[in-house]
Amino acid sequence: MARVAVTGAGVISPLGESLAEFHRSLRAGRSAIRRLAPELTERTGVQVAAPLDWDPAAHFKESEAASLDRASQFALAAAGQAIADSGLKIEDDNRVRIGVSWGTGMGGAHTQEASYQQVYGAGEWRVRPLTVVMGMNNAPGSNVAVRHGLRGPFANFSTACSSSAMALGEAMRQIAAGRADAMIAGGCEALLTPGILVAWQALRTLAPADAADPAASCKPFDKRRAGLVLGEGAAAFVLEEESRARARGARIYALLTGYGNSCDAVHMSRPDRAGQVRAMQEALAEARLAPQDVGYINAHGTATAVGDRVEAEAINAVFGDAAREVRVSSTKSLHGHLLGGSGAIEFAATLLALEGVLPPTGFLDQPDPACALRHVARSAERVDPPRAVMSNSFAFGGSNVVLVAERP
């Protein structure tokens, strides 16, 4: 079966708007989490988030930006970076062999909300004609395909927090099965709207602001953890069949060699250890790796009481004795939870780990004994570059996706 190389990366995140900037922030253990505007907090109850200081004018003509939801803007910017970074030439003789595999939880959430605000808020039963095509869930991925003329396989995955990890895994399968020579794979999310914030608040899973330091509000695996913090952004990758990438002399960040996909099928929001175990085992088996070959795991680690404990148990069940060695961190402590975009952004974090710099779980001062793992706590750790790394994405709805990448 064909092997799949990662040859380009693009990042639009609260921790920086390029892979290099994102990696610099992770090395420094910098958090992008901050207080929301007081008026928004007063109305929604949500105190902190990791929003992007996004300037559409830096990326798009005014008329273009007006016809692209924020989520699509992130997607186009990240995918554009990834394609440029890869040096892949998209031409008429190869564009039918290059596809798009995208992931997003809510697609054009800002557009949807603007439409409802117009109808129910303003009482004006007249909305923008572009509401449908800007707001639909597949708009971000489709915009990427249209912009670059990518006419190969297209898919859009919407499985909440595993969406973009699934997009990467399924893109790998398209290439491995010979259906495409290259895929632009990634995901995005832009849902920090009042209507969605208040819905998350109603779930009672969001962390309040840390009184002393709002940037430290998300504390995965810590005894004091109090829930997740929402973020926004996108990450995109160019995946290519390895021999083609090597033949054109492409720089190869990593080989994507394992993809596990399982469903808990027990509860809509409560995670289940058995499902997570199956996904990790499947990814390792596909990569033909033993647990001790994996040097770093980017955990799902949302900082909920139950979620972190169950994931720690699942990692211990899969890794056994090797769990004493494998370093684990949750970078959500720094960039927030990008939901549908989280699998992609965290895959970008694992690329740093493959270079031998393990990104940390920020603010992890008091590890919870119920989450017994070898944590990369507080600050980045330099190690010999590991042979392989793993990234976990476990979603509402019970979808579990695990990706394994190896040094080229």
Residues 4-63 that bind other proteins (CB under 8 A): 61-63
With respect to other proteins, which residue has the nearer C-beta, 38 or 123? 123
Three-class secondary structure of residue 269 per DSSP: coil
Indicate which residue of 300, 335, 371, 375 is catalytic. Answer: 300
Tokens of 120: 């129910």
The torsion angles phi and psi of 367, rounded to 5 degrees, stand at: -55, 135
Q: By CB under 8 A, tell whether 119 contacts other proteins.
A: no
**Rounded to the nearest whole angstrom, what is the least distance from the CB of residue 126 to other proteins in the complex?**
8
Tokens of 203: 């779930």
Three-class secondary structure of residue 48 per DSSP: strand
With respect to other proteins, which residue has the nearer C-beta, 133 or 274? 133
Distance CA 103, CA 94 (A): 24
- Tell which one of 2, 90, 96, 133 touches other proteins (CB under 8 A): 133
81 half-sphere exposure, CB direction, 13 A CA radius: 22
Indicate which residue of 23, 148, 161, 335 is catalytic. Answer: 161
Residues 52-111 that bind other proteins (CB under 8 A): 61-64, 66-67
Please choose, from the candidates 33, 185, 199, 186, the residue with its C-alpha nearest in 3D space to the C-alpha of residue 109: 199
Q: By CB under 8 A, tell whether 128 contacts other proteins.
A: yes
**Rounded to the nearest whole angstrom, what is the least distance from the CB of residue 132 to other proteins in the complex?**
10
Q: Which alpha helices (DSSP H) does 6-69 contain, by range?
A: 19-28, 38-44, 62-66
With respect to other proteins, which residue has the nearer C-beta, 21 or 64? 64
Distance CA 262, CA 251 (A): 32
Distance CA 73, CA 67 (A): 10
Q: By CB under 8 A, tell whether 3 contacts other proteins.
A: no
Stretch that binds other proteins, among 127-135, 287-295, 305-313, 337-345 (CB under 8 A): 127-135
Q: Is 93 exposed, middle or buried (0-12, 13-18, 19+ CB in 10 A)?
A: exposed
Q: By CB under 8 A, tell whether 123 contacts other proteins.
A: no
Q: By CB under 8 A, tell whether 122 contacts other proteins.
A: no
| Annotation marks residue 59 as catalytic | no
Instruction: Confirm if 29 and 38 have CB atoms less than 8 A apart.
Output: no
**Rounded to the nearest whole angstrom, what is the least distance from the CB of residue 188 to other proteins in the complex?**
22
**Rounded to the nearest whole angstrom, what is the least distance from the CB of residue 194 to other proteins in the complex?**
24
- Tell which one of 2, 90, 130, 263 touches other proteins (CB under 8 A): 130
With respect to other proteins, which residue has the nearer C-beta, 1 or 63? 63
Q: Are strands 182-189 and 98-103 parallel, antiparallel or unpaired?
A: parallel
Indicate which residue of 188, 337, 371, 375 is catalytic. Answer: 337
**Rounded to the nearest whole angstrom, what is the least distance from the CB of residue 130 to other proteins in the complex?**
5
Give how far Cα 321 sits from Cα of 203, 324, 372, Å: 36, 6, 12
- Tell which one of 39, 53, 125, 129 touches other proteins (CB under 8 A): 129
With respect to other proteins, which residue has the nearer C-beta, 128 or 378? 128
Three-class secondary structure of residue 16 per DSSP: strand
**Rounded to the nearest whole angstrom, what is the least distance from the CB of residue 128 to other proteins in the complex?**
6
Distance CA 129, CA 242 (A): 43
Give how far Cα 164 sits from Cα of 78, 100, 187, 300, Å: 13, 12, 5, 13
| Annotation marks residue 161 as catalytic | yes
With respect to other proteins, which residue has the nearer C-beta, 108 or 233? 108
| Annotation marks residue 300 as catalytic | yes
With respect to other proteins, which residue has the nearer C-beta, 133 or 252? 133
**Rounded to the nearest whole angstrom, what is the least distance from the CB of residue 136 to other proteins in the complex?**
13
Residues 169-188 that bind other proteins (CB under 8 A): none
Q: By CB under 8 A, tell whether 136 contacts other proteins.
A: no
Please report the DSSP string for 143-160 in residue order: HHHHHHT--S-EEEE--G
Q: By CB under 8 A, tell whether 212 contacts other proteins.
A: no
Q: Return residues touching other proteins (CB under 8 A).
A: 61-64, 66-67, 128-130, 133
Residues known to be catalytic:
161, 300, 337
